[in-house]
Amino acid sequence: MSPAFERRLADADAAARELRTLRDLLRWAVSRFECAGIAYGHGTDNPRDEAVALLLWALHLPPDPLDPWLDARLPRAERRAVAELVERRIASRVPAAYLTGEAWLRGMRFACDARALVPRSLIAEALDEVLPQWLELHPRAPSWPAAILDLCTGGGSLAILAADRFPDAQVVGADLSADALALAATNRESHGLQQRVELVQGDLFAPLRAHRFDLILCNPPYVNEASMQALPPEFRAEPRAALAGGRDGMDLVRRIIADAPAHLADEGVLLLEIGHEAAHFEAAFPELEFHYLPVTAGERMLVLVEAAQLAAAAARLGTTAARRARRPAGAARKPRPPSARRTAARPPGRRP
């Protein structure tokens, strides 16, 4: 134990002696987080929510609002447990979910540790909110989607959420990391989904052979190199291979867009998270038509591409390559205006 952490445990001891109610502890924890300048972004985005999550877990309370308990007086042992956890969060600078061993996403609990990214994909919100709205405007057969792929599944949260939201679908979760897949297997078991969620290991689509899917979900590593250099310690505690997407963040995304047509059914849809990399995505795929699906975190962080749009882009790329081969040296290509190749997918009258 480092001297700094020992000092902090002494502070925790004092807090446990002096503070009485849950409200006291919550206020103290928020002040400690504000002073320490910890980083958020693993399920919470502010000190209060971070403190609430840790308090609820430490006191074995359900993951509901803390408000009914705020005036409860706590025995010393509970106050000490809470205060120590708050100090451990500050001293370690690892995400709270790695300290508690669990993360909650859209009301479902997932076991969580440093073998995989902390579950927080924007795709989870889209499965409940904007994807059903998009499907109302772009209807599919009632049996759609019968086959779902969660590419880059990590600890399996999206595969499990998809299996829960589409109870008639068979789901495959694929990842390169054997460690992440071991965690995904634990999660699959705790949700009783061994019969409907298959887990496969390999490089992107390689383990899927010629299999085609109606819906491909993918939250790939997409953080660009400059952003990787500036990551706070909490994000560096996560596997680098789960985040780093190369110079412009698009290393894996390029391969996914190139190979997805061979793994999508005719009415298939690829739902791809790109986070803050919209500019890099648009620059990387000038020939591609696609839809942005707005989520609470932002308007241009999730991309939906239909199988037909991927096929059309591949065809356009083919003709562009042929034209370029015929064009005299030095002749410039006329750029297409961005608005001609992109559609907003927000259903009328609804904000996320």
Q: Tokens 């990214």 label which residue?
A: 117
Query: What is the maximal distance between C-alpha atoms in the chain?
Result: 82
Pull the structure tokens for residue 50.
Answer: 């971070």
Q: Are 158 and 219 in contact (CB under 8 A)?
A: yes
State which of residues 133, 219, 224, 309 lies at the interface with ligand SAM (CB under 6 A): 219
Which one of residues 117, 172, 260, 272 is an interface residue with ligand SAM (CB under 6 A)? Answer: 117
- Which window, 71-79, 92-100, 154-162, 325-333, contacts ligand SAM (CB under 6 A)? 154-162
* 116 scored as a contact of ligand SAM (CB under 6 A): yes
Report how far residue 213's alpha carbon sits from residue 266's, in angstroms, rounded to the nearest whole number: 9
Closest chain position to ligand SAM (CB): 154
- The answer to whether 175 contacts ligand SAM (rule: CB under 6 A) is yes
For residue 337, the Cα-to-chain-centroid distance in whole angstroms is 31
Q: What's the CA gap between 131 and 271, in Å, rounded?
A: 9
> Looking at 38, 54, 180, 345, which residue binds ligand SAM (CB under 6 A)?
180
CA neighbor of 195 nearest in space, from 160, 149, 151, 143: 160
State which residue, 140 or 254, has the beta carbon closest to ligand SAM. 254
Contact (CB, 8 A) for 12 and 84: yes
Decide whether 144 or 205 has the Cβ nearer to ligand SAM: 205
φ/ψ of 41, rounded to 5, equals 125, 5
The answer to whether the CB of 150 falls within 8 A of the CB of 171 is yes
Minimum distance from residue 277 beta carbon to ligand SAM (Å): 12
**In the block, residue with structure tokens 């008639």:** 168
Residue placing its CB nearer to ligand SAM in the complex, 25 or 130: 130
Residues 33-62 contacting ligand SAM, CB under 6 A: none
Q: How far is the CB of 65 from ligand SAM (least distance, A)?
A: 25
Q: CB of residue 50 vs ligand SAM: minimum separation in angstroms?
A: 19
Draw the binding track, 228-247, toward ligand SAM (x: CB under 6 A; -: no contact): -------------xx-----
Q: Indicate whether 200 belongs to the interface with ligand SAM (CB under 6 A).
A: no
How many residues does the structure list for the chain? 352
- From CA 282, how far away is CA 244, in angstroms rounded? 19
Q: Which stretch binds ligand SAM (CB under 6 A): 37-45, 72-80, 147-155, 283-291?
A: 147-155
CB of 176 to ligand SAM, least distance (A): 4
Q: Which is nearer to ligand SAM, 55 or 270 (CB)?
A: 270
Distance CA 206, CA 233 (A): 33
Q: Please, which residue, 89 or 115, has the CB nearer to ligand SAM?
A: 115
Note whether 155 and 42 are within 8 A (CB): no
Q: According to CB under 6 A, which one of 133, 177, 224, 309 is a site residue for ligand SAM?
A: 177
Task: Determine the interface stretch with ligand SAM among 148-156, 278-286, 293-301, 303-311 (rule: CB under 6 A).
Answer: 148-156
Quick one: which segment of 20-28, 217-225, 311-319, 333-341 binds ligand SAM (CB under 6 A)?
217-225
**How far is it, in rounded angstroms, from Cα 157 to Cα 92?**
25
Q: Is 187 in the site for ligand SAM (CB under 6 A)?
A: no
Tell me how far apart the alpha carbons of residues 25 and 79 are, in angstroms, rounded to a whole number: 8
CB of 105 to ligand SAM, least distance (A): 8
| DSSP β-ladder status, 170-175 and 197-201 | parallel
Q: Distance (Å, rounded) from C-alpha 10 to C-alpha 25?
A: 16
CA-nearest of 191, 129, 201 to 161 is 191
Q: How many residues bind ligand SAM (CB under 6 A)?
A: 21
Q: Which residues bind ligand SAM (CB under 6 A)?
A: 116-117, 119, 121, 152-154, 157-158, 175-177, 180, 203-204, 219-221, 241-242, 252
